[in-house]
Amino acid sequence: MTRIVVFASGSGSNFQKIKESIDNNQINGKIVLLISNNPNCGAVKFSELNNIDFKIINDYRYNEKKNNQYELVLEKYRPNLILLAGFMKKIPHNIIRIYKNKIMNIHPSLLPKYGGKGYYGMNVHKSVVQNRERITGATVHFVDDNYDKGPIIIQEKVGVDSSDSPDIVSEKVLKIEHKIYSKAIKAFCLNKITIDKDSVIINE
């Protein structure tokens, strides 16, 4: 069984959906820990209600002490997979190095479009509407040292109507996020993901 650690800063809707998929035996894994920088967020409350351990790491300075704190906590919980679910902090290099190709993120656009620093949440959907895009979507990718640049695992598109507000686009994309994140996690837990240089293959 895959030991999973989730990183989240907000409501944790993807976190909750992943837990639901595990409970329904769709994913052969167990969430052993939540790491958050926000002690008052919905993800932490969800952890408390579901008896999932959580750890708050909330130091706004990018320093070795904080980076080592991440490392020590993860060593204790021994994850096979780390999932970012709306985590608003950059993952330190030492964690990316130790858990290479074992950290996934879900992003609310069709990367590489609308990716990078500053493109998150409603910022992405507002840009999609402002630029009159007719297609958007979501992307699951492995995490490297650059924002939203790691190898893409899976993407799915959704149409954008000319009358859609950013809120409506957000709702459409969130449905896709829940679907493809669970699909990617399931494939990882079944050892069906292989990486050839920067290309990811899901073996059906």
Residues 54-94 pLDDT 10s: 999 986 555 666 678 899 999 999 999 999 999 988 898 99
* CA distances from residue 122 to 94, 119, 126, 140, 193 in whole angstroms, order as listed: 29, 8, 6, 18, 30
Question: Can you give the pLDDT at residue 154?
Answer: 97
- CATH class of the domain defined by 1-99: alpha beta
Is 107-194 in the same CATH topology as 1-99? yes
127 CB-near residues (< 8 Å, 6+ apart): 114, 119
Question: Can you give the pLDDT at residue 110?
Answer: 97
Exactly one of 93, 107, 125, 178 is catalytic; name it.
107
Q: Which of the four CATH numbers 3.40.50.170, 3.30.470.20, 3.20.20.100, 3.30.565.10 does domain 107-194 have?
A: 3.40.50.170
Which residue numbers in the chain have pLDDT < 70? 59-66
Q: What is the pTM of this model?
A: 0.94
150 CB-near residues (< 8 Å, 6+ apart): 105, 141, 142, 143, 144
Domain ranges of the chain: 1-99, 107-194
Question: Can you give the pLDDT at residue 64?
Answer: 61
Question: Can you give the pLDDT at residue 62?
Answer: 54
Active site includes 107? yes
Question: Can you give the pLDDT at residue 189?
Answer: 96
Q: Cα–Cα distance between 66 and 71 in angstroms, integer?
A: 9
